[in-house]
Amino acid sequence: MFHDRIIPFSMPTRIIHGFGSIERIPDECRRLGIVKALLVTDQGLVKAGLAQSLRGILDGAKLPYVVFDRVEEDPCMNTVHEGEQLRQAEGCNGIIVLGGGSPLCAGKAIALLGTNGGKISDHQGVGKIKTAPLPLIAIPTTAGSGSEVSPTFLISNEESGRKMAISSELCYPPVAILDPNLLRSVPTKQAIWSGLDALTHAVESLWTNLGTPLTDSIALRSIQMMFKSFVPAVFTDDMAAKSEQLLASTMANIACGNAKLGLVHAFSFPFGNLHVPHGLACGLMLPFVMEFNLPCCKPKLAQMAIAIGERPDQDENALANAALERVKQLYREVNFPSKVTEKEIPRSKFEQVIKETTSASQMRFNIRQAGERDLINIMERAYAGF
């Protein structure tokens, strides 16, 4: 399929992975010309002492910085504008983000406003911005969102009650620092949800219509690493597993940043509008979308099954089904729910979810075209569970 088309592959982010890699931040700041940084983070990371460790490194290197630690879950426009005002007032010419998906989204938005001006809602959409954002160093503290290597970010619009997606080739973070030490104290539930978001990124990149051998190979290797490291990374102090899980989640996003995403992420937007956290939403829908897509992507799911340890001498059908069974088995191992309940999506919101999924941009990338009837069937299967 890829042979007759021109499909670009981008990964402009410099990735520095390893224990103690946060010590490299001052060098990277100098390389990027950051003379005073705005350190964007959240209260949870301040309380966990991670922001303090980072401050120690910056102080030690005599690199001036100002802390903006008021980023909330699903950051809204006001927060971004507040951060940008502080940045301007303090004369910071670069951003360091320490955090999970929320601080990374807020930091990218502040970096964008730093050079493009206006309100963040002015820049909503794909490819709208004209000038490269201020330099940004992304330091993820969860293994999941992959935002550290993504040109896309989400900001909640408190006026419309909806999330705005902003994406541009210019918005890739120039540097991502992956230090597994930062994953030491991630709460179990958060580690499971963000891990399943990452797994979904890798699996979805196998079943879009923009996948190539480049994206497939990264996605398959990342799935293999996750199946090996997910359980020990979440439930034990196995730092090698946490390290592998962190790199695998970044790789998953490199794959899906290029191959794009499918139906699970299409569902995740209406779920998000009903305040279901993104990782939980993706985890809940992955097995049921996998079931729906399976007839159209058996060869790739068979490769996935082999990558995670299935015997390669089985026929393609058996292997593709085994990939689905392995995902369900993983859910049992981490005690993740096997169905959607009214707590996440009340029946009264069913039609709204279907309507909003239909208009999600990811619908067009999913390998199997899904009409309204299909979406209803998938949701009913998700309520019934496996």
With respect to Fe ion, which residue has the nearer C-beta, 21 or 249? Answer: 249
With respect to Fe ion, which residue has the nearer C-beta, 101 or 135? Answer: 101
Which residues, 6+ apart, have CB-to-CB distance to 29 below 8 Å? 37, 63, 94, 96, 137
Residue 15 is given by DSSP the state: E
With respect to Fe ion, which residue has the nearer C-beta, 197 or 216? Answer: 197
d(CA 158, CA 257): 27
Min separation Cβ 146 and Fe ion, Å: 7
Site size for Fe ion (CB under 5 A): 1
Min separation Cβ 371 and Fe ion, Å: 24
Min separation Cβ 197 and Fe ion, Å: 4
With respect to Fe ion, which residue has the nearer C-beta, 92 or 210? Answer: 210
With respect to Fe ion, which residue has the nearer C-beta, 134 or 198? Answer: 198
Min separation Cβ 249 and Fe ion, Å: 10
| Residue whose CB is nearest to Fe ion in the complex, by number | 197
Task: Report 80-119 residues binding Fe ion (CB under 5 A).
Answer: none
Are the beta carbons of 152 and 195 closer than 8 angstroms?
no
Considering the rule CB under 5 A, would residue 244 count as an interface residue with Fe ion? no
With respect to Fe ion, which residue has the nearer C-beta, 37 or 203? Answer: 203
Min separation Cβ 288 and Fe ion, Å: 16
Contact mark string toward Fe ion, 171..210, x via CB under 5 A: --------------------------x-------------
Residue 132 is given by DSSP the state: P
Min separation Cβ 253 and Fe ion, Å: 8
Amino acid type, 298 = K
Phi/psi for 126 (5° steps) reads: -105, 130
Min separation Cβ 215 and Fe ion, Å: 16
Got the DSSP string for 86-123? HHHHHT--EEEEEESHHHHHHHHHHHHHHHH-S-GGGG
Min separation Cβ 128 and Fe ion, Å: 22
With respect to Fe ion, which residue has the nearer C-beta, 51 or 248? Answer: 248
d(CA 74, CA 68): 16
Amino acid type, 289 = V
Min separation Cβ 200 and Fe ion, Å: 6
d(CA 230, CA 284): 17
With respect to Fe ion, which residue has the nearer C-beta, 32 or 286? Answer: 286
Task: Report 14-53 residues binding Fe ion (CB under 5 A).
Answer: none
Which residues, 6+ apart, have CB-to-CB distance to 78 below 8 Å? 158
Residue 246 has, within 13 A of its CA and on its CB side, a CA count of 28
Structure tokens at 338: 């096997």
Q: For residue 277, give the 3-state DSSP assignment.
A: coil
Phi/psi for 342 (5° steps) reads: -65, -20
Number of DSSP helices (H) and strands (E) in the chain, helices first: 14, 9
With respect to Fe ion, which residue has the nearer C-beta, 135 or 144? Answer: 144
Interface positions with Fe ion (CB under 5 A): 197
